[in-house]
Amino acid sequence: MADQLSAKDWLDQGLKTLTASGFTALKAEPLAKAMGVSRGSFYWHFADIGAFHAAILAHWRDVAAEQVIANLEAASGTANPLPRLLRGAFGNRPALESAVRTWASVDPKARAAVQAIDRRRLSYVENLFRANGLPPAVARARAQILYWAYLGYALSEQKLPRAKQAAVIDELLVIATR
């Protein structure tokens, strides 16, 4: 049975569970039940729940930062990827972002993972601004402002109708690219 599921299968299920039920649901037994397998499959891939949690945080970083950046770079060619980044970031409900940040409020390892991804994302956005000719201090400030806006959005319970959300994203693009 262990060879039927990969570690990535477990990690993907872990991210879904984290999003839907929070970090306290990241346990071998309920995850195995949700996947229709025994706990033995879990322990085939992870030494213990701590190792699984560490792998979940690394997988989150890959999904929520590294893959996003790689996809932006691949799709953008010579065009500025910032508009595509903002439309993607603000066009989805970032429930996973909120779940990980809630976890980080009580767990030092999750907090360190969040801090690392914050640095990575900020650095990437700052570099986008610098590539467009902004001085380093201005690029850093604009990246921070955009990131604060994203975090406010990610943690907000308020949902906007699609048309209003699109108008807000368009306005954010105007602010960011002036």
Residues 130-167 have pLDDT tens digits of 998 999 999 999 999 999 999 998 898 887 788 888 89
In angstroms, the CA 6 to CA 22 distance is 22
Q: What is the pLDDT of residue 128?
A: 93
Q: What is the pLDDT of residue 9?
A: 94
Q: What is the pLDDT of residue 3?
A: 47
> Of residues 101 and 159, which shows the higher confidence score?
101
Q: Please, which contacts does 157-161 make with residues 24 or more away whose CB atoms are closer than 8 Å?
A: 159/93
- Which of these, 122, 121, 139, lies nearest to 131 by C-alpha position? 139
Q: What is the pLDDT of residue 61?
A: 96
Is pLDDT at 50 greater than 50 in this prediction?
yes
CA dihedral of residues 93, 97, 103, 106 (deg, nearest 10): -110
